[in-house]
Amino acid sequence: MTATTCPTPPSHRFAPLLAGLALGLMASTASSAAMLDVEKDELKFGFIKLTDMAPLAIAYELGYFEDEGLYVTLEPQANWKVLLDGVITGALDGAHMLAGQPLAATIGYGTEAHIVTPFSMDLNGNGITVSNAVWELMKPHLEMDGEGKPVHPISAAALKPVIEEFDAEGRPFNLGMVFPVSTHNYELRYWLAAGGINPGYYSPEDVSGQIAADAYLSVTPPPQMPATLEAGTIDGYAVGEPWNQAAVFKKIGVPVITDYEIWKNNPEKVFGITAEFAETNPNTTLAITKALIRAAKWLDENDNANRQEAVEILSRSEYVGADAEVIAASMTGTFEFEAGDVREVPDFNVFYRYYATYPYYSDAVWYLTQMRRWGQISEDQPDSWYDEVAKSVYKPEIYLEAARLLVEEGVVDEADFPWDSTGYREPTAEFIDGVTYDGTQPNAYIDSLPIGLKTGDSVVGAEVVAAN
């Protein structure tokens, strides 16, 4: 049978033109047409069961990942080490990470790998809790207000006599934190040092972090902390929510301070990916960042109006799994200290306000200064080194590009982002001990802190040795 081509009837000649017009119109309105051409669309992200994995859960549940053409599996990890190893080996494409993890990995503290982050997941969100027994011993040393409630913030100076009592009895005072390079470790140490307690040093040979310590800090995975506190293995811990409120709920401990009171609006978690992933999959990285920015915005929208719904999602067993009422406390702006002592802390978890999602270099530098302060970085480094490391790990360029795409799509406001930032926040003194932090002068800052290594110091054996 021979094929004969039908002569094109007049109306059909316009069909391609009309189709082109229609496509053009659709491209400007349909969200599917705004999708980036992602290199890898099936992704697996790891997280730890903490309230601040919320942006990941929300981006999944509300379909923001799907809108970008990404099919994401969220997998809870057993602990921070397993999570970091997962990202480094490629088993996970990205993960909810402690702000210190990408920095430590890149400088080679722990497993070495170049990890970068284009997105800061939240500010604040941690607390320090002590056991009931320790709280009773602390109370006589606390300043009370007119109603008989402790005046906040509670300084670690109230804990110092308790540790001295323990020492007199020959008992070590043990505290738990989640990871050697975690924000909780540095915040706990900052608080202890501000109260005159030495939290211990690290040295290249001894990585326990307990050299010359008054209080002994060790690692415990967050979900196991309440159980470890109850068992008496530790006398207190620093961890993110919901594990502080969980202790109050189960009547096994009392939170004494939130990290908001240690450093107002401190950086907490970031979304970490390997540098290789970011290079090989630039569009995918942009798509992920876009979805996460949208999720963060939803969490803080309308003065935290959506937080209750977020709590319901987080209480599902595949996300955080703790009881909704325990999660709700901090997510909706209240925090219970001693049983019955509920205080308003509206910015306990900040996901979007105050440019929370911008990965500031000054945040990275603060963590590096603390690593130097406690000996994880064993030698002095020039200010330029701090700046270089921060720039190689924190990627605000990717963040701003993703934000620009979202502004063009009309889903976020231009005013929500600091387009002209140098990457360094203004110097701030909003710390519990009032010391000023200027990210552009890391060595001067290290020298201005009370307890801790200063310029020229190093840890040799079991002592701190000054260079002079």
Partner 1 sequence: MTLASEVSAPQGQRRQKLFSAINRSAAWLSALGLGWLVPLLKIAAGDDPREQMGELRDSLFFPVLGIAAFLLAWATLAPQVQTSLGAIPGPAQVWEQTGALWQDHLAEREKEAEFYARQDERNAELVADGRADDVKWRSYTGKPTYLDQIVTSLKTVGLGFLIATIIAVPLGIASGLSKPFNGALNPLVQLFKPVSPLAWLPIVTMVVSALYVDASDAFPKALVISAVTVTLCSLWPTLINTALGVASIDKDLVNVGKVLQLSTPTTITKLVLPSALPLIFTGLRLSLGVGWMVLIAAEMLAQNPGLGKFVWDEFQNGSSTSLARIIVAVLTIGIIGFLLDRVMFTLQTAFTFSGKR
Q: Bridge-partner residues for 97, per DSSP?
A: 270
Work out whether 85 is an interface residue with partner 1 (CB under 8 A).
no
Q: Binders of partner 1: how many residues, by CB under 8 A?
A: 35
Closest listed residue to residue 160, CA positions, set 129, 185, 193, 195? 195
Residue 136 sits at φ, ψ, to 5 deg, of -60, -35
Where does residue 4 rank: exposed (0-12), middle (13-18), buried (19+ CB within 10 A)? exposed
Q: Bridge-partner residues for 123, per DSSP?
A: 267, 350
- Least distance in Å: CB of 158 to partner 1? 26
| Cβ-proximal residues to 78 (8 Å cutoff; 6+ apart), any chain | 221
Work out whether 402 is an interface residue with partner 1 (CB under 8 A).
no
Is the Cβ of residue 63 or residue 161 nearer to partner 1 in the bound state?
63
Which stretch, 18-26, 198-206, 264-272, 411-419, contacts partner 1 (CB under 8 A)? Answer: 18-26
Interface of this chain with partner 1, residues 34 to 63, rule: CB under 8 A: 41-42, 49, 63
- Least distance in Å: CB of 215 to partner 1? 25
Decide: helix, strand or coil at residue 458: strand
**Helix then strand then coil, % of the chain, to nearest 5:** 45, 15, 40
Candidate residues 15, 78, 133, 429; the one interacting with partner 1 per rule CB under 8 A? 78
332: left (phi over 0), alpha (psi -120 to 50) or beta: alpha
Candidate residues 34, 69, 85, 407; the one interacting with partner 1 per rule CB under 8 A? 69
Interface of this chain with partner 1, residues 221 to 260, rule: CB under 8 A: 223-224, 226-227, 230, 246, 250-252
Is the Cβ of residue 324 or residue 400 nearer to partner 1 in the bound state?
324
Contact present, 442 and 433 (Cβ < 8 Å): no
Is the Cβ of residue 91 or residue 462 nearer to partner 1 in the bound state?
91
Work out whether 343 is an interface residue with partner 1 (CB under 8 A).
no
Work out whether 72 is an interface residue with partner 1 (CB under 8 A).
yes
Is the Cβ of residue 230 or residue 309 nearer to partner 1 in the bound state?
230
Which stretch, 115-123, 206-214, 261-269, 322-330, contacts partner 1 (CB under 8 A)? Answer: 322-330
Work out whether 73 is an interface residue with partner 1 (CB under 8 A).
yes
Which stretch, 141-149, 193-201, 320-328, 409-417, contacts partner 1 (CB under 8 A)? Answer: 320-328
Work out whether 14 is an interface residue with partner 1 (CB under 8 A).
no
- Least distance in Å: CB of 223 to partner 1? 4
- Least distance in Å: CB of 312 to partner 1? 13
Q: Bridge-partner residues for 193, per DSSP?
A: none
Where does residue 96 rank: exposed (0-12), middle (13-18), buried (19+ CB within 10 A)? buried
What is the DSSP code string of 404-441? HHHHHHTSS-GGGS-TT--S-PPPB--BTT---B-TT-
* Spatial distance between the Cα atoms of 277 and 262, rounded to a whole number of angstroms: 35
Which stretch, 71-79, 303-311, 332-340, 449-457, contacts partner 1 (CB under 8 A)? Answer: 71-79
Q: Which helix (H) or strand (E) holds 73?
A: strand 71-76
> HSE of 194 in the Cβ direction (CA atoms, 13 Å)?
18
Contact set with partner 1 (CB under 8 A): 19, 23, 26, 30, 32-33, 41-42, 49, 63, 66, 69, 71-74, 76, 78, 223-224, 226-227, 230, 246, 250-252, 315, 317-318, 320-323, 326
